[in-house]
Chain A
Amino acid sequence: MVVPVLILLGVVFVYPTSIFLLRAFTHFNPPQVAGLDNLVWFLGDETNRIILVRTFTVASMCAVLTAIVAFPYAYCMTVIGPRGRTIMLGVLLLSMFLGILLRNFAWVILLQYQGPLNDILDAIGLDRIRFLGTAPAVVMGMMHILFPFMVLPLYSVLNGIDRRLVLAAQSMGATPMRAFRQVYLPLAMPGIIAGALLVFVLALGFFITPALLGSPRQALMSQLMFLQFDLQAAFGRAGAMAIVLLIIAMVFVILSNIVQRRSRAYGDAS
């Protein structure tokens, strides 16, 4: 069973990805000519650095904010009855199954100047806001799409926590807040980290949402890659960008593994 899957992965993932990454060192558009020129080009150009930092910031914001929004949802799923849980899971999966373009356009309609959100602002006496084309609109749209990727790993961890531990802490004099912070939250940490990491890595590569809800003035890495790859046919530069993104993603995976191991050790010790 494993062999066909490995062959499939090899053919459709490992091979094209390797070719693409290798091109960073073999394919050059003037003024780049050889060696590490493409990486030097990427890191040496101020525009590229601005876009890289922006992508990193947006992805981090998505990870943190999605975690904050998803935590109550996942927690609720662990305490609600089976029927309620099925509904909550169904809502989550339904939104995942809807096409990504559809969900992005739904946000265009919600956020547009004459849209429902602005109608509400107008009705309560506030000024209409031009949401579309701004970074907050992009983050909102991305959070919606990434929400299930946060909830599902989080739920699987929260569901395994014995909530009697929290009650035990309270019976021994902890305030509810303190019991949550010192007992529940550390136990939930592996789920939060796993979800946030997944969201962060996925967010690094978002293309359609920033293209539809954002503006070229908030371009992210994927848009820059599109420019270099698709329009400029500069495969080497795009490959160099992919290498940089890959390294960032890998650094975060390793860091989160270290943190997880620490928190597990802490759990064992206590």
Chain B
Amino acid sequence: MTSRKASFAAGLVVTASLAGIVSGAAAQSLPDLSGQSFVFAGFGGDLQSNQDIAWLQPFAEATGVTVLQTDAPNSAALATQQEAGNVTVDVIQIEASVVDANCGDMFVEVEIDRSELNSDLDTNACGVPVVKFSFVLAYNASLYDTAPTSIGDFFNTEEFPGVRVATSFANAGLIEAALLADGVAPSDIYPVDLDRALARIDASQDAIEFRDSFAIIQDGIASGEFDMALIPNGRALNASLINPDVQVTFGNAVTLFDNVAIPAGAENIEAATAFLQYTATHSTQVALAERFPYGVGTVGPAPNLSEEAISFFPDTYTDQLLVQDTDWWGENIAEVRERVNALFAQ
């Protein structure tokens, strides 16, 4: 269950429709793709339903292409399909580190105009950086006189008592938060000292509740089951719409982003490439950000956000964020998963 994929239950939380109107495919010439189709695999939940409105529907309308959707993409399913020579998805959304590590074999290189992309996030020739998000520290503000200022405060049970909760997912902010709590400076987090991080988590294991799903955590922080949580910023916003006491700190919030990319063996390369080009424009990415507060992988004027959304939006806090080293995670995530699993099982 990678990061937000646990959203199979996210339907419980109704997305409040954030202000902002789809700007559509402004000022770009899109090819005529009528009669063609492609399959888009996103993370499901609120994110994908907003992507449908902000990206897929306008693109289909402008080009005549038919977009089919599925969710829960993962590298295992993809590897199986590729082994069998039967790849059923054409555009997949997946963590940037996965595309970085597998560009050229698992994913195909695309020739598109990358001039509007943020060069810091544009790290490979296969994917388009999209959906920048942060693992924030969400907390119940009615419980604390002074607000926490860093995700490292997740481990500070003396100053901030209360029930805290995190997922067991390897790459969901917990490793970095543990190092911050242990006194590592934000600039020295990478490469991660895994032994040190796990020792810090182990020392606090009894003070922390762990869950397998972000949906459960989002629900629990809104209902008062939990007082403090490490969750993606979009889920924190949704929890705050139900319970206004839920607030967040973006201090050192681990920030990463996804790619949309075309898996090798995909059948509808032409339509998929055109869609990647479409997502590589600022106007497309802003249209999504204005509906759901995940940041953009492009450069240009800031999106027009509602007041609620703006305090949950990563780009509001650019100088506070801890931008994740995707190379380190791409190389080490398998090991981190095994070690975290072993830590929790015992």
Which residues of A are interface residues toward B (Cβ below 8 A)?
A: 46-47, 50-51, 101, 105, 108, 112-114, 130, 132-133, 210-212, 214-217, 219, 223-224, 226-227, 229-233, 235
Question: A230 — which chain B residues lie within 8 A by C-beta?
Answer: 1, 74, 76-77
Question: A224 — which chain B residues lie within 8 A by C-beta?
Answer: 341
> What are 29 A-B contacts with C-beta separation under 8 Å?
A46-B342, A46-B346, A47-B342, A51-B345, A112-B223, A112-B225, A113-B224, A132-B225, A133-B210, A211-B1, A211-B213, A214-B212, A215-B168, A215-B211, A216-B212, A216-B341, A217-B344, A217-B345, A219-B341, A219-B344, A224-B341, A226-B1, A229-B76, A230-B76, A231-B76, A231-B337, A232-B334, A232-B337, A233-B75
Given contacts A46-B346, A47-B341, A233-B76, contact A114 B223 (CB under 8 A): yes
Extra pairs beyond A216-B211, A229-B76, A235-B80 (7, CB < 8 Å): A46-B346, A51-B345, A133-B209, A217-B205, A219-B345, A232-B334, A235-B76
Kindly identify which residue among A51, A114, A212, A232 contacts B216, using a CB–CB cutoff of 8 Å. Answer: A212
Question: B342 — which chain A residues lie within 8 A by C-beta?
Answer: 46-47
- Alpha-carbon gap, A47 to B213, bound state (A): 21
Most buried by A among B216, B219, B334, B342: B216
- Alpha-carbon gap, A229 to B211, bound state (A): 20
Question: A231 — which chain B residues lie within 8 A by C-beta?
Answer: 1-2, 74, 76, 337
Question: B341 — which chain A residues lie within 8 A by C-beta?
Answer: 47, 216, 219, 224, 227
Given contacts A47-B341, A216-B210, contact A233 B1 (CB under 8 A): no
The 6 lowest CB-CB distance pairs between A and B, nearest first, are: A216-B168, A233-B76, A211-B212, A47-B342, A216-B344, A47-B345
Q: How far is the CB of A122 from chain B (nearest CB, A)?
A: 13
Instruction: Please tell me if the beta carbons of A212 and B213 are within 8 angstroms of each other in the complex.
Output: yes
Q: Which secondary structure dominates chain B's binding surface?
A: helix
Question: B1 — which chain A residues lie within 8 A by C-beta?
Answer: 211, 226, 230-231
* Least CB separation from A29: chain B residue: B334
Count residues of B near A (Cβ-Cβ below 8 Å).
34
Q: How far is the CB of B122 from chain A (nearest CB, A)?
A: 26
Question: B344 — which chain A residues lie within 8 A by C-beta?
Answer: 216-217, 219
Instruction: Please tell me if the beta carbons of A108 and B219 are within 8 angstroms of each other in the complex.
Output: yes
Question: B168 — which chain A residues lie within 8 A by C-beta?
Answer: 215-216, 219
B220 CB within 8 Å of chain A: yes
Q: Mark B58-97, 1 if CB is under 8 A from A, else 0.
A: 0000000000000000111101100000000000000000
